[in-house]
């Protein structure tokens, strides 16, 4: 059955427990964002996260359940979607789940990759980190102070960063949704928020969500800074968080999904549509107006990620214009 947003708060602790025990997707916690719906089967400990957009159910992250139950859960979700005369478009699907979608008759193409740093070996020593060290040093000399804070208590500080950040993106730019983190809502208690200030003025923040599975740790899932913030503010906040995570026993910091990056022919599954592959590669080369992938990738690569994981999109036999429009709508890109 599908569970509307109004009922997800009551089941939030259960959903977190599902992710804790069953998920291996670094971005899985984003399934708990406000506005998402979940599909459940009574006899299965798990769920599917999705949003309704036009004729589509845009699904996030694959089926979250024990590996033995994922095929059944996904088949039931696909059947329920067909019965509702809708179609499924699945985003940020990991390799193992991508193979499952393909087995069930859906087309699958790589659409990007996610990046992760192993905290035990993370260091800023050496020539490759000279630029990063210099940026952090500049922010520190500017008087940057960093602290982990409570989101509710610092709502005004967060908004003081958000408003000029959004204005700096341009009049017609909207905040992206669905594939990025959020601040607030019933799942906020599980996240960590680090705020940077200079002489008491908020200049930037980073939000992190928990990651479960083989590379458990934290997901760098939302970042904002003032347009006039000194260089190195975000890098300094992130390094502060990395140090704290390592000291408290966390093993991985994930930088999350970046569309149109990490694309390799060897990552594609049999049956991937060549046309979609070409479009995704073209967007990676020339699509900065659609999504700032190159800028995001530059930031992530400067931390020397140890693991790069391909991520996929699953869709019906044809990727039609309505499906692409649904993708833009669900992420609030239009």
- Identify whether the C-beta of residue 52 lies closer than 8 Å to the C-beta of residue 88: no
How do residues 259-302 score in pLDDT, each as one tens digit? 889 999 999 999 899 988 988 888 888 877 667 788 889 999 99
CA 316 to CA 334: how far, in whole Å?
A: 23
Q: Give the list of residues 6+ apart from residue 20 with CB closer than 8 angstroms, or none.
A: 212
Does one domain contain both 128 and 212?
yes
User: 87 and 154 share a domain?
Assistant: no
Residue 301 falls inside a structural domain: no
pLDDT confidence bin for 147, thresholds 50/70/90: very high
The answer to whether residues 129 and 303 touch, using CB atoms and an 8 Å cutoff, is no
Per-residue pLDDT tens over the stretch 159-193: 999 999 888 765 444 445 557 889 998 899 999 99
The pLDDT value recorded for residue 168 is: 72
Q: Are residues 9 and 93 in the same domain?
A: yes
Q: What is the mean pLDDT of residues 92-115?
A: 95
Q: Do residues 213 and 124 share a domain?
A: yes
Residues 248 and 206 occupy one common structural domain: yes
Residue 5: predicted pLDDT? 44
Whichever domain contains 121, its CATH number is 3.40.630.30
Q: Give 109-141 pLDDT, tens digit per residue.
A: 999 999 999 999 788 999 989 999 999 999 999
Q: Are residues 140 and 92 in the same domain?
A: no
34-45, pLDDT tens digit by residue? 889 999 999 999
Together in a domain, 314 and 284: yes
Q: How far is CA 243 from CA 16, 191, 235, 252, in A?
A: 25, 17, 12, 11
Nearest by Cα to 104 from 150, 62, 146, 153: 62
> Is residue 219 in some structural domain?
yes
Sign of CA dihedral 226, 231, 235, 241: negative
Q: Are residues 68 and 39 in the same domain?
A: yes
Token pair belonging to 235: 């890098």
Name the nearest CA neighbour of 260 among 231, 288, 218.
288
Number of domains in the chain: 2
Asked if the structure places residue 293 within a domain, the reply is no
Per the CB < 8 A criterion, the answer to whether 292 and 333 are in contact is no
Domain boundary among 255, 279, 298: 255
In a domain, 232, yes or no: yes
Question: What mean pLDDT value characterizes the chain?
Answer: 89
Interatomic CA distance for residues 108 and 100, integer angstroms: 10
Show which of 214, 231, 255 is a domain's final residue.
255
**Cβ neighbours, 10 Å, residue 164:** 15
pLDDT at 175: 47
d(CA 20, CA 172): 38
The yes-or-no verdict on residue 323 having pLDDT over 70 is no
Within-domain flag for 9? yes
Q: pLDDT for 194-247, tens place per residue?
A: 999 999 999 999 999 999 999 999 999 999 999 999 999 999 999 999 999 999
Residue carrying the six token digits 């083989």: 214
Please, is 127 exposed, middle or buried when counting C-beta atoms within 10 Å of its C-beta (0-12, 13-18, 19+)? exposed
248 and 122 fall within a common domain: yes
Is residue 299 in some structural domain?
A: no
The answer to whether position 305 is within a domain reads no
Owning domain of residue 52 = 2-113+260-288+310-330
Last residue of a domain, one of 213, 238, 255: 255
What pLDDT does residue 326 have?
56
Residues 223 and 242 in one domain: yes
The CATH number of residue 104's host domain is 3.40.630
Whether residues 125 and 237 fall in one domain? yes
Asked, for residue 187, whether it belongs to a domain, the answer is: yes
Place of tokens 């509702």: 84
Looking at the chain, the whole-number percentage of residues with pLDDT higher than 90 is: 73
User: What's the pLDDT at 73?
Assistant: 98
Of 179, 164, 150, nearest in space to 35 by CA: 179
Examine the domain organization and report whether 107 and 231 are in the same domain: no
């Amino acid at each position: 059955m599908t569970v509307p947003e109004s009922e997800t708060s009551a089941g939030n602790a259960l959903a977190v427990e599902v992710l804790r025990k069953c998920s291996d997707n670094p971005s899985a916690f984003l399934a708990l964002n406000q506005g998402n719906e979940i599909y459940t089967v009574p006899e299965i400990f798990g769920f599917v996260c999705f949003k309704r957009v036009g004729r589509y159910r845009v699904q996030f992250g694959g089926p979250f359940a024990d590996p033995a139950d994922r095929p059944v859960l996904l088949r039931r979700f696909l059947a329920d979607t067909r019965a509702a005369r809708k179609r499924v478009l699945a985003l940020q699907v990991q390799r193992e789940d991508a193979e499952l979608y393909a087995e069930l008759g859906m087309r699958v193409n790589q659409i990007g990759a996610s990046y992760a740093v192993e905290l035990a070996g993370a260091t800023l020593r050496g020539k490759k980190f000279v630029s990063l060290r210099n940026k952090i040093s500049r922010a520190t000399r500017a008087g940057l102070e960093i602290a982990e804070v409570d989101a509710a208590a610092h709502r005004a500080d967060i908004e003081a960063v958000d408003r000029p950040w959004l204005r700096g993106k341009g009049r017609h730019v909207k905040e992206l949704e669905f594939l990025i983190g959020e601040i607030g809502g019933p799942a906020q208690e599980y996240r960590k928020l680090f705020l940077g200030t200079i002489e008491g003025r908020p200049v930037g923040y980073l939000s992190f969500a928990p990651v479960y599975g083989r590379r458990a740790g934290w997901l760098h899932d939302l970042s904002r800074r003032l347009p006039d913030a000194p260089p190195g503010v975000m890098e300094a906040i992130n390094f502060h968080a990395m140090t704290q995570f390592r000291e408290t026993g966390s093993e991985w910091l994930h930088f999350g999904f970046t569309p149109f990056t990490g694309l390799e022919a060897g990552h594609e599954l049999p049956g991937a549509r060549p046309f979609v592959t070409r479009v995704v590669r073209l967007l990676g080369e020339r699509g900065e107006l659609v999504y700032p992938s190159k800028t995001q990738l530059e930031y992530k690569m400067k931390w020397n990620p140890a693991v790069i994981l391909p991520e996929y999109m699953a869709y019906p036999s044809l990727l039609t214009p309505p499906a692409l429009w649904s993708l833009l709508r669900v992420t609030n890109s239009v």
